[in-house]
């Protein structure tokens, strides 16, 4: 996809190759909803040339294999390799569960070879970063991420991998990712202003993991008073009973709207912490909050248990009747009261 020719005034365009492996393609589907600007305009603004993307490019089959061989043999420079979906190494480490059609070569081997030549390597989504949904359960396909297998460093490329720029794999984790998370990161990479200092302990961009999903949540008043929902259609806080991990999840989902309007929680479903390694196997159903002696196991991040118990007890005692009523309803029934209004 040649967007424009280089000019003497224009810096060299960054060449990006996008591959898909073991996943559902959901991150690409999310990216196609990018707005302000749209995805293609965002690439243009970042001075990025998309060499190939399975949903954006016309080239298929032998044309794609020819492009990949040109990169491997040094005829085409690769600035950014993006992988969507996990690496499938099975059976028995051969990678033959996922062959690159027409090449006689496992996709696993193509990914590893291209990653070693790329200036930057970006894992798009939780599957590419940590193995994700594809690696859940028995993981018969031997799925892993580029630099992690769940919480264990290593993955396909090894824990010490560094791209041509000297950076480790950039893990834009999420299931799926928000378009803005990728666009912002690619802009930084293209401008050569992205560094290890811009990544958290799991290799994720701090541009979105500096926040918690809890920040900006529309149910925060219910949370403050521990006015809890009891079923999914209720409007109250979903942390106490329905498995919401918004106080633990590192992302800005309720600050940066999805599709211009909302988030999982706004849609009535608890946060499942999909930006985190091994989110796919919480050990219980996503809509259940495990408890010990009535205390939720997944306490808010950074909060000591004793403090939470004390604050929760005080909050419940002070809960306004308006919140008690609205928390267990599927629509708001009781409006706030203006206590300054003089009764006639």
pLDDT in tens, 193-236: 999 999 999 999 999 999 999 999 999 999 999 899 999 999 99
pLDDT for res 342: 56
User: Directed axis angle between helix 107-117 and helix 62-72, to 10°?
Assistant: 40
In angstroms, the CA 156 to CA 174 distance is 19
Domain end among 209, 242, 259: 209
One domain, residues 269 and 123? no
HEC readout, the chain:
CCCCCCCCCCCCCEEEEEEECECCCHHHHHHCCCCCCCHHHHHHHCCEEEEECCCCCCCCCHHHHHHHHHHHCCCCCCCEEEEECEEECCCCCCCCCCEECCCCEEHHHHHHHHHHHCCEEEEECHHHHHCCHHHCCCCCCCEECCCEECCEECCCCCCCCCCCCCCCCEEECCCCCCHHHHHHHHHHHHCCCCCHHHECCCCCEHHHHCCECCCCCCCHHHHHCCCECCCCCCCCECCCCCCCCCCCCECCCCCCCECCCECCCCCCCCCCCCCCCCCCCCCCCCCCCCEECCEECCCCCCCCHHHHHHHHHHHHHCCCHHHHHHHCCCCCCCCCCCCCCCCC
CA-CA distances (angstroms) from residue 3 to 37, 40, 47, 66, 201? 16, 9, 9, 20, 35
One domain, residues 220 and 291? yes
One domain, residues 279 and 144? no
pLDDT tops 80 at residue 341 = no
Query: Residue 123: beta bridge partners?
Result: 83, 171
What is the domain extent for residue 159? Answer: 14-209
pLDDT (tens digit per residue) in 258-306: 888 889 999 999 999 999 999 999 999 999 999 887 777 776 777 777 7
**Could you tell me the CATH number of the domain that includes residue 141?**
3.40.50.700
pLDDT for res 339: 73
Closest CA to 221 of 342, 334, 341, 340: 334
What is the number of structural domains in the chain?
2
In a domain, 337, yes or no: no
One domain, residues 125 and 185? yes
One domain, residues 199 and 256? no
Given a contact cutoff of 8 angstroms between Cβ atoms, the answer to whether 200 and 250 are in contact is: yes
In angstroms, the CA 43 to CA 66 distance is 23
One domain, residues 44 and 123? yes
Query: Residue 250: beta bridge partners?
Result: 212
pLDDT for res 343: 60
pLDDT (tens digit per residue) in 226-260: 899 999 999 999 999 999 999 999 999 999 988 88
Residue range 69-96: mean pLDDT, rounded: 97
Domain end among 187, 209, 231: 209
One domain, residues 142 and 238? no
In angstroms, the CA 208 to CA 197 distance is 14
In a domain, 57, yes or no: yes
**Could you tell me the CATH number of the domain that includes residue 225?**
4.10.480.10
pLDDT for res 63: 96
In a domain, 44, yes or no: yes
pLDDT tops 70 at residue 100 = yes
pLDDT tops 50 at residue 3 = no
pLDDT tops 60 at residue 4 = no
One domain, residues 87 and 187? yes
Residue range 11-15: mean pLDDT, rounded: 90
Least confident of 34-48, 119-133, 304-318: 304-318
In a domain, 67, yes or no: yes
- Determine phi and psi for 172, rounding to 5 degrees: -90, 80
Percent of the chain with pLDDT over 70: 95
Domain end among 168, 188, 209: 209
pLDDT for res 210: 95
Given a contact cutoff of 8 angstroms between Cβ atoms, the answer to whether 161 and 81 are in contact is: no
In angstroms, the CA 175 to CA 277 distance is 11
pLDDT (tens digit per residue) in 299-328: 677 777 776 777 777 787 888 889 889 899
In a domain, 7, yes or no: no
One domain, residues 180 and 226? no
CA-CA distances (angstroms) from residue 70 to 18, 64, 76? 15, 10, 6
In a domain, 5, yes or no: no
Mean pLDDT of the chain: 92
In a domain, 185, yes or no: yes
Query: Residue 82: beta bridge partners?
Result: 18, 122
Pairing of strands 14-20, 80-84: parallel
In angstroms, the CA 109 to CA 103 distance is 11
């Amino acid at each position: 996809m040649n967007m424009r020719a280089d000019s003497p005034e224009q810096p060299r365009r960054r060449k990006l190759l996008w591959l898909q492996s073991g996943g559902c393609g959901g991150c690409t589907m999310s990216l196609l909803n990018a707005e302000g600007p749209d995805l293609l305009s965002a690439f243009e603004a970042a001075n990025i040339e998309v060499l190939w993307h399975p949903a954006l490019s016309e080239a298929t089959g032998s044309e794609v294999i020819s492009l990949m061989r040109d990169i491997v043999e040094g005829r085409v420079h690769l600035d950014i390799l993006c992988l969507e979906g996990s690496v499938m190494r099975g059976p028995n480490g051969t990678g033959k569960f996922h062959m690159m059609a027409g090449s006689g070569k496992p996709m696993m081997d193509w990914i590893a070879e291209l990653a070693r030549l790329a200036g930057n390597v970006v894992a798009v989504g939780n599957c590419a970063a940590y193995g994700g949904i594809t690696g859940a359960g028995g993981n018969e396909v031997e799925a892993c991420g580029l630099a992690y297998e769940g919480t264990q460093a290593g993955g396909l490329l090894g824990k010490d991998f560094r791209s041509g720029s000297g950076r480790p794999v950039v893990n834009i984790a999420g299931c799926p990712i928000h378009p803005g998370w990728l666009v912002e990161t690619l802009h930084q990479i293209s401008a050569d202003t992205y560094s290890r200092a811009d990544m958290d302990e799991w290799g994720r961009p701090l541009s979105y993991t500096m926040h918690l999903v809890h920040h900006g949540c529309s149910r925060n008043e219910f949370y403050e008073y521990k006015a809890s929902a009891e079923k999914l259609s209720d409007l109250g806080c979903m942390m106490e009973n329905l498995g919401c991990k918004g106080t633990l999840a590192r992302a800005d989902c309720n600050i940066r709207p999805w599709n211009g309007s909302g988030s999982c929680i706004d849609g009535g479903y608890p946060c499942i912490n999909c930006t985190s390694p091994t989110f796919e196997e919480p050990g219980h159903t996503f809509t259940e909050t495990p408890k010990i002696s009535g205390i939720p196991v997944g306490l808010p991040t950074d909060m000591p248990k004793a403090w939470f118990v004390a604050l929760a007890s005080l909050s419940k005692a002070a809960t306004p009747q308006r919140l008690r009523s609205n928390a267990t309803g599927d629509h708001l029934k009781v409006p706030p009261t203006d206590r300054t209004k003089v009764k006639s």
